[in-house]
Structure 1
């Protein structure tokens, strides 16, 4: 990437960060919602089905993985609002590197995701969660989580470009909830009906959650899931990143 493209991408990233200052409620709600889920399942629904060991040690890594799918509606709304208001058209008419708008949007989203992870980890510590691992494994777990988020982010960008209008986002984001909860974030798939267990186990979020639990040294972790936790996001990126870029370059053609 040339210096010109990097400069344009940084300009777009700063624009998205400035949007945070203008819309702080949306940012705060997006970061607090996973915390509410963690507290609700940790205290109100706590116990877990088929989980050996401390349920909080099982729950926190699962929530960290699940959070990587939630919050995409913020990305989708931001993209569709820019499309609907003609902002993207004005950017495309300027001498700006192709894709700088998408790079800026993704960079700002990843920064918000990193802050959200830090907040959720702090709440997990307050609940009594203690990872039993070294710094390398801890950073590796965070890397797996952010890789999943990066893949989910480009799915969201592509769907936003397809939807085109903010009012269409609600219809699309409904799909996030079944896919998100159809995972092992809250319960062991072995306790689920036989027909449901395999799809839950192969959910990308389940693969990441299982690998992260292993790296954190908690219950429910299996070392064999590390590679699938890497390959799933890479496969999603291989599909949706070029789709999003191609959709963006063909706008209004």
Structure 2
């Protein structure tokens, strides 16, 4: 645990050296939210204020942008040779990867606060209870942790930081064919099955219901099951790939 906390601090310090990437990952979701609300929101009927509808999806999109830095950071470590020095200090692969994940969670929470601040400024007015806020935040942290571990595995899978940044685009794409920005029933029929049963949709629906103090049924448990599956896959894959890359 001590090594993992040290590696988390290292990851945060490395982020300060790449300020442009950090600012982009934090500001781009806000810019997209403003574009959707002010350019497209008037043409989309969601039964409520569009900013209220779209904020949960933007938060998930923000997590995807933030997790890309995890893949890039892991790939840079593997390419730069620092892993050999860590191993000579008897630091195992798990603390190294956990440090990248911990730094990703911290960065994403800061980005989440910025997005929520911007959302409140343009009219977002949730009606959640304190317990609803806590549950929504818990779901978001679970998702951030899961995709950060998956991003770590992708960083080990690719051979260059550029490729690592590119492959994480798949995670950033998932919120679009979901209920993040438009109701699923407005999409073409052939897309409904994927949009309804992909990992992001139950997460967004749960967060939207919790923030608006509406019934959510068993949707949060489905979202948590997806997060657990993604995280288990990411941890197992990253552990295996790390051993293969450092033999």
Answer whether contact 2:126 2:211 (CA < 8 A) is retained.
Answer: yes
How far does the alpha carbon of each residue in 1:11-50 deviate from its partner, in whole angstroms, 9 at most, with x for none?
2111112112222222111111111111111111113644
Deviates more, 1:11-20 or 1:46-55: 46-55
Matched, 1:240 2:234: yes
Cα distance in structure 2, aligned partners of 1:9 and 1:183: 35
Aligned partner (choices 10, 27, 46) of residue 51 of structure 1: 46
How far does the alpha carbon of each residue in 1:133-156 deviate from its partner, in whole angstroms, 9 at most, with x for none?
111111110110111111111111
Cα distance in structure 2, aligned partners of 1:241 and 1:27: 24
1:196 corresponding residue in structure 2:
191
CA RMSD of aligned residues (A): 1.8
2:177 corresponding residue in structure 1:
182
Answer whether contact 2:135 2:210 (CA < 8 A) is retained.
Answer: yes
* C-alpha distance 104-23 of structure 1, shift in aligned 2 (>3 A): same
Cα distance in structure 1, aligned partners of 2:154 and 2:15: 22
2:202 corresponding residue in structure 1:
207
When normalised by structure 1's length, the TM-score is 0.91
2:22 corresponding residue in structure 1:
27
Structure 2: gaps spanning 5 or more residues: none
Structure 1: gaps spanning 5 or more residues: 1-5
Deviates more, 1:208-217 or 1:240-249: 240-249
1:111 corresponding residue in structure 2:
106
Aligned partner (choices 47, 57, 76) of residue 81 of structure 1: 76
Cα distance in structure 2, aligned partners of 1:67 and 1:114: 10
Answer whether contact 2:93 2:242 (CA < 8 A) is retained.
Answer: no
